[in-house]
Chains A and B, each alone.
Chain A
Amino acid sequence: MAPSHAPGSQTSVTSDHERAALAQASGASRTLAATMPRLVLEARRVAATVIHGLHGRRRAGPGENFWQYRRFVSGESAADVDWRRSARDDHLYVREREWESAHTVWVWPDRSSSMDFRSNLARDGKLERALVIALALGEVLVQGGERVGIPGLMAATANRNIIDKMAQVMLHDPAARASLPKAFSPSPLSEFLLLSDLWSPIADIRATLARLSAAGAHGHVVQVVDPAEETFPYSGRVEFVEPEGAGAVTAGRAETWRADYTARIARHRDEIRAETDHAGWSFLVHRTDKPATDLLLALHARLTAGRAAVRPARGAPTEAAPA
């Protein structure tokens, strides 16, 4: 990373990194998405939107799938009569289809410079991993008929070419990369997926989560961390620099800091978890030395299971990594 901290150059430099990461991530995410089963969110919670989707409402309505035949009620349009069925007996039947609607999922991949970190313990950087997950999940969701959006960047859409669209949008984002979404409030029945390293001050996190869940939206928080950030494998005299310009600290013998650091991390997570539990969201920790599939599978399961499956797990820490 260039030593300069001028905002403009930082943006451009960051976009370079981001572009490279995106280019790699869009390819990787396609292959990853191809391995996933069709992700269809549980329909119970789908709002009764007019937007066409695949979530059958278990009742008749606009849709494509056959739902039931019912007797023709007088007053209906004659065009509704299903003549093929009616020809079998003496009654007139109307063919009803199941009411189907789409679900909206908001995905927030953290693209701040703190995500641009990779220790030699991991194969992928955090940013790359977050983008892979975001794009792959978007592809899977769109294939499943859902709508995917990025807060502040992209309105929810079910575009077939969702990966390219998301990548283009992120590339052409002129704003500074923030760690957490700002001034965004999802609709009550939408799902929110927050992919970030969550190293921001806990007050910021707390405020963001409160705002996101204020309207009643359900969500999942995923902390993407590098293994080095968990195990603190440093020793000797080391100067630690915050990549977002928050300052630096020098450790004389870094190995003596390890225990304190681990405890501090645990405390940080406990605070985040307290927030997510409060809002009824789920909290996952993903290490980049684990395969991306782990996280995708976990997210797939949670999104599929929906709130009902998440709720009983409340209070117990959940980790994305199966192992």
Chain B
Amino acid sequence: MIPGLPLAFAQPLILLGLAALPLLWWLLRLVPPRPRRVAFPPTRLLFDIAPKEETPSRTPWWLTLLRLLLAALVIFAAAGPMWRPPVAAGTGNAPLAVLIDDGWSSAASFDARIRTATDLVARARANGRGIALVPLSEPNRDLSFETPDAADAHLRTLAPKPHAVERAAALPAIGRLLAADPAAEVVWLSDGIDLGKAQNFVTGLARLTEGRTVTVVTGGVASARALTDVDNAAGALGVTVLRADANAASQGTVRALDLRGLPLGEAAFAFSGNATDTTARFDLPVEIRNDIARLEISGERSAGAVQLLDKRWRRRTVGVVTGATADTAQPLLAATYYLARALGPFADVRLAERGSPAEAVDHFIDQHLPMMVLADVGTIAGDARDRLTRWVEDGGVLVRFAGPRLAAATDDDLVPVRLRRGGRVLGGSLSWEEPQKLASFSPNGPFATIAVPDDVTIRRQVLAEPDATLAEHTWAALGDGTPLVTAGRRGKGMVVLFHVTADTRWSNLPLAGTFVEMLRGIVGITGQQPAADTETADGGTTESGRATQATETVAPSRILDGHGAFGPPPPTAKPVASGYRGRATADNPPGFYGPPEGLLAVNTLVPGDRLAPLDLAPLGARVEPYRTAEPVDLRGPVFLAAVGLALLDALVVFWLAGGLSRGLARLTGARRASAAVLLGLALGLAGLGPQPARAQPASNPTADQFAERATATTRLAYVITGDAEVDAISKAGLEGLSVFLSQRTALEPGDPMGLDIARDELAFFPLIYWPIVPGAPKPSAETLARIDTYMKQGGTILFDTRDAVEAPPGPGGETRSPGMLALRGILSSLDIPELEPIPREHVLTKTFFLLPDFPGRFSSGRLWVEAIPSADPDEQEMRPVRGGDGVSSILITSNDLAGAWATRPDGQAMLPLTPGEPRQREYAFRAGVNIVMYTLTGNYKADQVHIPALLERLGQ
């Protein structure tokens, strides 16, 4: 392994061969190339030729360099170079002790650790060495060297632990293990994180491994990051992101999830420079923040990157104590009601329900509430007062509201400013002509960001003694400058005084939205909670006394695994004291404990924890990084390069020997040939390119054949429906009609053709017979467009629903038969002109035969044609025939014409007729003739019927 370069050699000793290169250089430079020996009969004549200068007796320097490089490459390749070599362990037969960090800090990169360990085990198997896997989280394990197969099985069971591992605890076991074999080697697959006491382990290990080969594998993978110190502050929820060193990724996101795992928000963080901690802030509404149960670093799969939040973080609990005894009489007007409503959205309000204010205060102090509101409490008696003072000095926030009792109280020192007491208190008398308005908020206090409302009026207040410090204690002031809210620090805590009552007797402040904002501000500054919220399962009541709390335990319910995923608690997890605030341990893995309504979060890291990089200096070990990629054997490429150089050398020698000019003629030939090959290749490729484009013309032959067949002679055509029986009848029917046409008319049509309506060209056919099959799928939009085009360009389609007998009886029943409905489905997308039952004087009735109607197999159906403009009544008499301007593009019948025309090859009819009148089939054929003639000749007959009249006119 070369430091700084992931390159290693399997046989480094071979590299000594590089030392022979100078000798090679000397030889190459000194010895001229050996001449070619040629037996040449006229050599005697050559003796007479004056010898030329022997120029190339020495190899040119660059050729020598080329050959030296070639030799160097061969030596290099023979030494077995390997890019990103696997972690090196000695190649001896001594057993190998593999220490594996498996605390939470190893979880994110645990795969790399396992991969390295697997590799070590595999090579131990190859070398026949014993191996011992020592997960440092299990100090009590009985360690021994085992076979690589057993170690492999053991390795598969390893998983990172969710808690911090005290490595030093494993030292005795390691000592016993190493004592068993003095030659054993040690490999430590470290995570590189120092959680505080790692140095003990490093020095201890150094002592144990004196004189042994120690390899520490660390780095090469992203260093672990962790979360700690969640702070649900006033404006935002902040969480501290930790990292051990600047190698870890310096940017990322922290995700906030609720208890069900739904994401609530994300916050980005970035480490600046070499800083090892930074803060991510969630600027979310407090109600949403209160729902956050889990914070995690996106993409960091370790228990340390997860912080679980229980109710302690969710809201601050505020105890409300009132001095009034009659409050409960009108609870909706009581100060406690206003306070509870105002504090409710962002704080957990607890009301003192019983007893005197002193008892309530005592109670709340026992509960270690961070904030207490005393609404018009005058004097607190006894030692409760001392406790309250201590509580404030220990960090409690005491908010007091004025009132008659406060005003009446004497020697009350739990106020931020001195109040005017005694007769000077303006309790009951009106001091002003008109009520004062709230005028300003102090920029120093928590109200700085609140907009000053103009609807808050103060009618009564307690006044402060004006002194020099009054202004800096004032958080809010009235229009005349007198303070409305004053505050003062006391010890670590704070005392805040509202100079009005918490109910509406003195002012309408409790009714204003500003009141909520102000209380929120005060709750926001409530600093460190002096003690844990000792909320228990029943929520409100609590036991008194620390002793009972310490013994109160809650059972694990959802536990994090090493990768930071929730799971059921493992059997080794033990219940935790309900007031537990420490780090997670092996017995108490991180996770939620207790019942769902009172979860207790135990986290891997506690506030104040910091990560530090591991200092391996005392160990004096070889340090290698983890391998994130497979090793690459460079022998092949290097040998390939050597072969390439050899080829180059051969070419150069060939050229030097004058072969270039000799081979030029052949070479140019070859070049021409290769150029031809290239050209051919290019043409082939070019030929491949437009292949799809030529696919269209390629399919032309069949289309051309179709067009040839269709246009060689006039043909009738039918649409292939896909129903074999219907298609056979269509074909036979049109064949029969074709025969009939040949016999009776001048038209001798060819054999009828079946059409695939979706693909075949329609324009070749004057008439297309389309039998409708009920339930047939509707043609595609493209097909419908083709049909439309055909009809618009003069083609005629004869739709035959073939179901005149199935039509419901009654007027109009014909149009409700199943075939008609199917046909309607087809035609609904087409641009169909107005239709009408064929009128008597329609030209279709006279194009060849004179026909009153158009029977087929059935005679009850009618033939529908495009409506032609009704004749001028004046001309009605004179014109027995009407025809439109063109040919009706659509004919619809339900009489199954093809069924009537269908004949077998022997000339017999295929299908019986209904009702079977004597000449029905003859008339059916005649109808067909008329239709064909109509499509071929148009309205020509409409004029022909006038010929007698015209002749008569001409004749005279």
In Å, the complex CA distance between A253 and B51 comes to 10
* A236 within 8 A of partner (CB): yes
Whether B42 and A239, one on each chain, are in contact in the complex, defined by CB atoms closer than 8 angstroms, is: no
Residues of B within 8 A of A74 (CB): none
* A24 within 8 A of partner (CB): no
In Å, the complex CA distance between A252 and B50 comes to 12
Residues of A within 8 A of B662 (CB): 233, 235
Residues of A within 8 A of B48 (CB): 264
Within 8 A of A (CB), among B40-64: 40-57
B726 CB → nearest A CB, Å: 82
Whether A260 and B50, one on each chain, are in contact in the complex, defined by CB atoms closer than 8 angstroms, is: yes
A242 CB → nearest B CB, Å: 4
Within 8 A of A (CB), among B871-885: none
Known contacts being A233-B662, A234-B38, A235-B662, is A247 close to B33, with CB within 8 Å? no
* A83 within 8 A of partner (CB): no
Q: Which of the residues A197, A234, A236, A238 comes within 8 Å of B656, measured between beta carbons?
A: A236
Residues of A within 8 A of B44 (CB): 199-201, 242, 246
Whether A254 and B42, one on each chain, are in contact in the complex, defined by CB atoms closer than 8 angstroms, is: no
Residues of B within 8 A of A233 (CB): 662
Within 8 A of B (CB), among A89-120: 114-115, 117
Whether B56 and A237, one on each chain, are in contact in the complex, defined by CB atoms closer than 8 angstroms, is: yes
Residues of B within 8 A of A201 (CB): 44
B332 CB → nearest A CB, Å: 118
* B919 within 8 A of partner (CB): no
Residues of A within 8 A of B42 (CB): 197, 199, 229, 261, 265
Q: Which of the residues A226, A237, A249, A255 comes within 8 Å of B661, measured between beta carbons?
A: A255
Q: Which of the residues A229, A237, A250, A260 comes within 8 Å of B41, measured between beta carbons?
A: A229
Within 8 A of A (CB), among B18-76: 32-57
Interface size, A (range): 35 or more
Q: Across the two chains, which residue of chain A brings its CB closest to B655?
A: A236
Whether A239 and B37, one on each chain, are in contact in the complex, defined by CB atoms closer than 8 angstroms, is: yes
Whether A257 and B658, one on each chain, are in contact in the complex, defined by CB atoms closer than 8 angstroms, is: no
Known contacts being A237-B56, A240-B38, A241-B37, is A253 close to B43, with CB within 8 Å? no
Q: Across the two chains, which residue of chain B brings its CB closest to A126?
A: B41
In Å, the complex CA distance between A257 and B49 comes to 8
Query: Residue-by-residue, is A145-168 near B (CB-CB < 8 Å gives 1, otherwise 0)?
Result: 000000000000000000000000
* B659 within 8 A of partner (CB): yes
* A50 within 8 A of partner (CB): no
* B832 within 8 A of partner (CB): no
B98 CB → nearest A CB, Å: 63
In Å, the complex CA distance between A126 and B42 comes to 13
In Å, the complex CA distance between A257 and B34 comes to 19
Query: Residue-by-residue, is B654-676 near A (CB-CB < 8 Å gives 1, otherwise 0)?
Result: 00111101100000000000000
B530 CB → nearest A CB, Å: 100
Q: Across the two chains, which residue of chain A brings its CB closest to B53?
A: A252
Query: Residue-by-residue, is A102-145 near B (CB-CB < 8 Å gives 1, otherwise 0)?
Result: 00000000000011010000000010000000000000000000
Residues of A within 8 A of B53 (CB): 252
Q: Across the two chains, which residue of chain B brings its CB closest to A234?
A: B38
B762 CB → nearest A CB, Å: 74
Known contacts being A252-B55, A252-B57, A253-B52, is A237 close to B33, with CB within 8 Å? yes
Known contacts being A237-B657, A256-B52, is A248 close to B57, with CB within 8 Å? no
In Å, the complex CA distance between A115 and B658 comes to 28
* A243 within 8 A of partner (CB): yes
B172 CB → nearest A CB, Å: 79
Known contacts being A239-B36, A253-B56, is A268 close to B45, with CB within 8 Å? yes
Residues of B within 8 A of A237 (CB): 32-36, 56, 657
* A251 within 8 A of partner (CB): yes
* A1 within 8 A of partner (CB): yes
B43 CB → nearest A CB, Å: 4
B660 CB → nearest A CB, Å: 9
Residues of B within 8 A of A234 (CB): 38
In Å, the complex CA distance between A243 and B39 comes to 6
Whether B37 and A235, one on each chain, are in contact in the complex, defined by CB atoms closer than 8 angstroms, is: no
In Å, the complex CA distance between A19 and B527 comes to 121
A103 CB → nearest B CB, Å: 33
Report which residue of A115, A236, A261 has the largest number of chain B beta carbons within 10 angstroms of its beta carbon.
Answer: A236
Whether A247 and B47, one on each chain, are in contact in the complex, defined by CB atoms closer than 8 angstroms, is: yes
Residues of A within 8 A of B47 (CB): 247, 249
Whether B658 and A254, one on each chain, are in contact in the complex, defined by CB atoms closer than 8 angstroms, is: yes
Known contacts being A253-B55, A256-B52, A261-B49, is A236 close to B658, with CB within 8 Å? yes
In Å, the complex CA distance between A236 and B658 comes to 5
Residues of B within 8 A of A268 (CB): 45
In Å, the complex CA distance between A126 and B38 comes to 16
Known contacts being A238-B36, A239-B35, A253-B56, is A247 close to B658, with CB within 8 Å? no
In Å, the complex CA distance between A233 and B33 comes to 20
Whether B41 and A197, one on each chain, are in contact in the complex, defined by CB atoms closer than 8 angstroms, is: yes
In Å, the complex CA distance between A221 and B56 comes to 42
Whether B43 and A246, one on each chain, are in contact in the complex, defined by CB atoms closer than 8 angstroms, is: yes
Q: Which of the residues A1, A260, A264 comes within 8 Å of B39, measured between beta carbons?
A: A1
Residues of A within 8 A of B45 (CB): 199, 261, 264-265, 268
In Å, the complex CA distance between A4 and B144 comes to 76
In Å, the complex CA distance between A247 and B41 comes to 11
Whether A248 and B43, one on each chain, are in contact in the complex, defined by CB atoms closer than 8 angstroms, is: yes
Q: Across the two chains, which residue of chain A brings its CB closest to B45?
A: A264
A117 CB → nearest B CB, Å: 5
Report which residue of B44, B50, B55, B56 has the largest number of chain A beta carbons within 10 angstroms of its beta carbon.
Answer: B44
B657 CB → nearest A CB, Å: 3
B705 CB → nearest A CB, Å: 60
Whether A240 and B43, one on each chain, are in contact in the complex, defined by CB atoms closer than 8 angstroms, is: yes
B653 CB → nearest A CB, Å: 9
B68 CB → nearest A CB, Å: 22
B651 CB → nearest A CB, Å: 14
Query: Residue-by-residue, is B277-308 near A (CB-CB < 8 Å gives 1, otherwise 0)?
Result: 00000000000000000000000000000000
Residues of B within 8 A of A243 (CB): 39-41
In Å, the complex CA distance between A235 and B662 comes to 8
A284 CB → nearest B CB, Å: 18
In Å, the complex CA distance between A246 and B39 comes to 11
Q: Which of the residues A115, A228, A235, A264 comes within 8 Å of B657, measured between beta carbons?
A: A235
Q: Which of the residues B40, B43, B52 comes within 8 Å of A252, measured between beta carbons?
A: B52
Q: Across the two chains, which residue of chain B brings its CB closest to A268?
A: B45
Whether B657 and A251, one on each chain, are in contact in the complex, defined by CB atoms closer than 8 angstroms, is: no
Known contacts being A235-B662, A247-B47, A253-B658, is A242 close to B52, with CB within 8 Å? no
Q: Which of the residues A115, A242, A253, A264 comes within 8 Å of B40, measured between beta carbons?
A: A242
In Å, the complex CA distance between A252 and B658 comes to 11
Query: Residue-by-residue, is A192-212 near B (CB-CB < 8 Å gives 1, otherwise 0)?
Result: 000001011100000000000
Residues of B within 8 A of A117 (CB): 39-41
In Å, the complex CA distance between A253 and B50 comes to 13
Whether A252 and B46, one on each chain, are in contact in the complex, defined by CB atoms closer than 8 angstroms, is: no
Whether A249 and B46, one on each chain, are in contact in the complex, defined by CB atoms closer than 8 angstroms, is: yes
Residues of B within 8 A of A200 (CB): 44
A182 CB → nearest B CB, Å: 19
In Å, the complex CA distance between A73 and B350 comes to 184
Residues of A within 8 A of B54 (CB): 252
In Å, the complex CA distance between A94 and B42 comes to 63
Whether B659 and A251, one on each chain, are in contact in the complex, defined by CB atoms closer than 8 angstroms, is: no
A248 CB → nearest B CB, Å: 7
A112 CB → nearest B CB, Å: 9
Q: Which residues of B contact A (CB under 8 A)?
A: 32-57, 656-659, 661-662
User: Beyond A239-B35, A242-B43: 10 further Cβ-contacts under 8 Å?
Assistant: A197-B41, A229-B41, A235-B661, A237-B34, A237-B657, A240-B46, A243-B39, A251-B52, A256-B52, A261-B46
What are 22 residue pairs bridging A and B, where the CB atoms are less than 8 Å apart in the complex? Answer: A117-B39, A117-B40, A197-B42, A201-B44, A229-B41, A236-B36, A236-B657, A236-B659, A237-B34, A237-B35, A238-B37, A240-B43, A241-B38, A249-B43, A249-B46, A250-B35, A251-B52, A253-B658, A257-B46, A264-B49, A265-B42, A268-B45
> Which 9 A-B residue pairings sit nearest by Cβ, starting from the closest?
A235-B658, A236-B657, A252-B54, A242-B43, A114-B41, A236-B658, A240-B40, A237-B35, A239-B35
